[in-house]
Structure 1
Amino acid sequence: MSKELHVVFGTGPLGRSVMRELLRRGQKVRMVNRSGRMGDLPAGVEVVAVDVYDPTQSRVAADGAAVIYNCVAPAYSGAAWETDLPRMWKNILEAAKETGARLVIGDNLYMYDQAAGPIREDRPMNATTRKGRARAKAVEAMLQAHREGRVRVTFGRGANFFGPYATDQSILGSRVFPALLRGQAVLQIGNIDLPHTLTYIEDFGKALVTLGEHEEAFGKVWHVPNPPTQTRREVLELAARLAGKPLRIRTLGGLALRVVSRFMPVLQEMQEMLYQFERPYVVDSSKFATAFGDLHTPMEEALRRTLEWYRRHPLPSTLKTARESA
């Protein structure tokens, strides 16, 4: 039986995890990014250079695809999400329409309102933040295209993720694991003693590939499987035990975050999302588990793999992970 071609737009942490899962399942993979280059590239994987803002280039990159995965990540800013995100998503959608490919979109949870209680897929997309409103608008455009029969689309939504290549834009990324392995203080924001669901990036990729294999997944939104929710302090304590290092945590509240963010643009953009870290943030992924199985990796194993990746990549800030994805 011949292999299907799977085209992954974006070679950041999520795109890479999708790639690895596709290879484990024996599929043919084409990766798409701006440069046409990709570090740590497995044998047999094609990488093509594409300006995703160009609809023709996007269409050519998707030629022959059975499934397209939208894992692109514009710059982490409200302005970019209002202007760049819709253009990127529209061109990838049009590529799926022209090729007849199924479209799987890797998504986050920013579009939901801030009501208390577990976050389920039926929660209203009534975000009050700039990035959340932009995300909700882009999502609705994609779902409308599905309803109109122009394309088959499904969404896999993850919480704040961590794992291999999830460095600069992860709350458990380059400001945590390198410092922990050096015995230095790790940086966190908000209240670390509240329940906070985290997504392991490898589970995220596995879930997107699973959605792409099931016709019944399309036209719907799914929360990807996550390890059981813990507090971030509990997660960090487990990571420290696995690393064999003492744990020291430096936390930033709202005022401190505003001061430090003057020198760290990513933290500046995090200010409007601080609500996620100052109240319980629990994601319900039972809908996915019921339909396709609970694919989550236990937290201890996920942290063990993450620590091993950071040991092999001692200077992750030099890796082109966040911006490589666009």
Structure 2
Amino acid sequence: MQTILGANGQIGAELTRYLHDHVTEDIRVVSRRPARIHDTDEPVVANLMDADATADAVQGSEIAYLTVGLPIDSALWEQQFPVMMANVIAACQKHGTKLVFFDNTYMYPRTSQVQSEDTPFQPAGRKATVRAAMATMLLREMDAGTIEAVICRAPEFYGPGKTQSLTNSAVFDRIRRGKRPVVPVSAHTERSLIWTPDASRAMGLIGNTPDAYGQTWHLPTDPDRLTYEQMIGIASDVVGHRIGYTTVREPVFRLGGLFNRSVKEASELLPRYRVDNVFDSSKFTTRFPEFSVTTYREGITAILG
């Protein structure tokens, strides 16, 4: 039995498909409102804020994947994410279940330095502080030998379906609707984006590789990083006409944040767009050379084609 905690999002859904097709059909999908993708999926209703419900959801699982997401709301993250992490760790310890944690890069420095698995945490902002605390909580238990776990870390998403990210909503979703894309801060800094199906496939592969445990892994991205201007150029090729764009500078975001809570919450992330984002996933590609990474052109074509 392999269990996906937070199975309704794009990452959880893609992971379910990967496990079903390549690993096992004995899959438990857990969320507050779980939905089957395959007839063989076992849906379980659970609130990960409830320790007993979390333990019950994990019981009988060889591997549990923590892929749960929350709306971008700092207060909600502070209230819920650490509790969920503590409950999932305790549940896996209780049942002897391996844990695969799907993590992000919010805790990394907001600089153009290369981000590797050894990059020290330098959280800036409330959401980054929460994510650093979650990863640190798990690393502490891993170092103590109380849990067999692995951290799979991904940069910003782009992708099909229900993929949620600033890049999807501001750029590709707007292009799909025939609207002018909006670029955050700069169209000329290089971005490391991960195609969501790649993230899920890679996480499922790592989770079912025994010698991958006890480590942090950067999930695979196209090493040929592009700027937003270059991505929009590819999008122009795909749709067959030139696409213009509008760059929204940080002062405009800050002004908008005075009137819109969602814009205010997103503003914490904006310094990351001032400089190149260089996410190094060479550790993964060296260990798993047969893994096929989706190129930006392939991904953008799949979204818009």
The two structures have a TM-score, normalised by structure 1, of 0.86
> 2:295 matched to which residue of 1?
298
> 2:102 matched to which residue of 1?
106
Relative distance call for 1:98 and 1:301 in structure 2 (3 A) is same
1:154 correspondence with 2:150: yes
* Contact kept in structure 1, 2:253 and 2:263, CA below 8 Å: yes
Number of residue pairs matched?
301
> 1:52 matched to which residue of 2?
48
Relative distance call for 1:241 and 1:262 in structure 2 (3 A) is farther
Q: CA deviation at 1:166?
A: 4.2
Mapping 1:236-247, distance limit 5 Å = 236-247=232-243
Match of 2:270 among 266, 269, 274: 274
Match of 1:13 among 1, 5, 10: 10
* Contact kept in structure 1, 2:20 and 2:27, CA below 8 Å: yes
Where do 5+ consecutive residues of structure 2 fail to align?
A: none
* Contact kept in structure 1, 2:111 and 2:275, CA below 8 Å: no
Alignment partner of 2:170: what SS?
Answer: coil
Letter in 1 for 2:88: I
Distance in structure 2 (CA, Å) of the matches to 1:197 and 1:183: 25
Distance in structure 2 (CA, Å) of the matches to 1:289 and 1:157: 14
Distance in structure 1 (CA, Å) of the matches to 2:162 and 2:118: 28
> 1:79 matched to which residue of 2?
75
Answer 1 or 2: higher relative contact order, Cα 8 Å, separation at least 6: 1
Match of 2:120 among 117, 124, 130: 124
1:163 correspondence with 2:159: yes
> 2:182 matched to which residue of 1?
187
* Contact kept in structure 2, 1:180 and 1:240, CA below 8 Å: no
* Contact kept in structure 2, 1:65 and 1:101, CA below 8 Å: yes
* Contact kept in structure 1, 2:112 and 2:278, CA below 8 Å: no
Give CA deviations for 1:29-67 in whole Å, capped at 9, x if unaligned.
Answer: 2111112346xx333222221111111111111122111
Relative distance call for 1:94 and 1:295 in structure 2 (3 A) is farther
1:204 correspondence with 2:166: no
* Contact kept in structure 1, 2:111 and 2:276, CA below 8 Å: no
Distance in structure 2 (CA, Å) of the matches to 1:295 and 1:97: 34
Where do 5+ consecutive residues of structure 1 fail to align?
A: 309-326
Distance in structure 2 (CA, Å) of the matches to 1:143 and 1:59: 20
1:24 correspondence with 2:46: no
Relative distance call for 1:22 and 1:75 in structure 2 (3 A) is same
The two structures have a TM-score, normalised by structure 2, of 0.92
* Contact kept in structure 2, 1:105 and 1:153, CA below 8 Å: yes
Alignment partner of 2:133: what SS?
Answer: helix
Distance in structure 1 (CA, Å) of the matches to 2:264 and 2:19: 35
Distance in structure 2 (CA, Å) of the matches to 1:126 and 1:9: 27
Q: CA deviation at 1:199?
A: 0.6
Distance in structure 2 (CA, Å) of the matches to 1:187 and 1:66: 44
Distance in structure 2 (CA, Å) of the matches to 1:182 and 1:248: 14
Match of 2:135 among 132, 136, 139: 139
Give CA deviations for 1:214-233 in whole Å, capped at 9, x if unaligned.
Answer: 22222211111101211122
> 1:42 matched to which residue of 2?
38
Distance in structure 1 (CA, Å) of the matches to 2:262 and 2:287: 36
Q: CA deviation at 1:245?
A: 4.5
Match of 1:218 among 209, 213, 219: 213
> 2:254 matched to which residue of 1?
258
The ranges of structure 1 where at least 4 consecutive aligned residues each deviate by more than 4 angstroms after the TM superposition are none
* Contact kept in structure 2, 1:37 and 1:49, CA below 8 Å: no
Alignment partner of 1:80: what SS?
Answer: helix
